[in-house]
Amino acid sequence: MEQMLSTNQAEELSAIRQSCKARQRYAQIQMIALVAMAAVVIAFVLLLMPRASAALAQVDAVVGELASVDFAGMAERVDALVAQSSASMEEAMEGLDTGLADLHRALAVLEGVDLQSLNESIASLSAILEPLARLFGR
């Protein structure tokens, strides 16, 4: 058949065949690249699956623990503790006020004492007791 064709047509036919072969090789290269990428993705997924599964299990465990926490009860206990602390502080402040009032009364009593008269009384008592002390040998 090629003998019947002219040289020009034979060259065109040869170019078309080479073009078809080049396209086939290009399609084969694309297919090989696609298969290689798919293999890499599958290997990556297979390597990550155990880690992802473990992470999901841990997340599930944390969610379960959080679900079991009684936040309302905890808030009530904290509120009760705050109320008790407030009552204790009020009681302590009342005790402090009472102690300060007692201290003021004691200071008033001490201020009322005439130290000059007390010193004179002690000196007089000492003068009176001195002869008795000599009598008993002291």
Instruction: Please state, rounded to an integer, the average pLDDT across all residues of the chain.
Output: 87
**How distant, in Å, are the alpha carbons of 7, 14, 26 from that of 19?**
18, 9, 10
Q: How far apart are CA 19 and CA 13, in angstroms?
A: 10
Give the residue-averaged pLDDT of 90-99: 88
Range of the domain at 12: 1-69
Structural domain tally of the chain?
1
Cα dihedral 24, 29, 33, 34 in deg (nearest 10): 0
- pLDDT tens digits, residue range 29-50? 999 999 999 999 999 999 999 9
pTM: 0.38
* Domain assignment present for 22: yes
Q: How far apart are CA 17 and CA 101, in angstroms?
A: 117
Model confidence band, residue 128 (pLDDT cutoffs 50, 70, 90):
confident
* Domain assignment present for 87: no
Per-residue pLDDT at 77 exceeds 80: yes
Q: Can you give the pLDDT at residue 129?
A: 84
Give the residue-averaged pLDDT of 57-71: 87
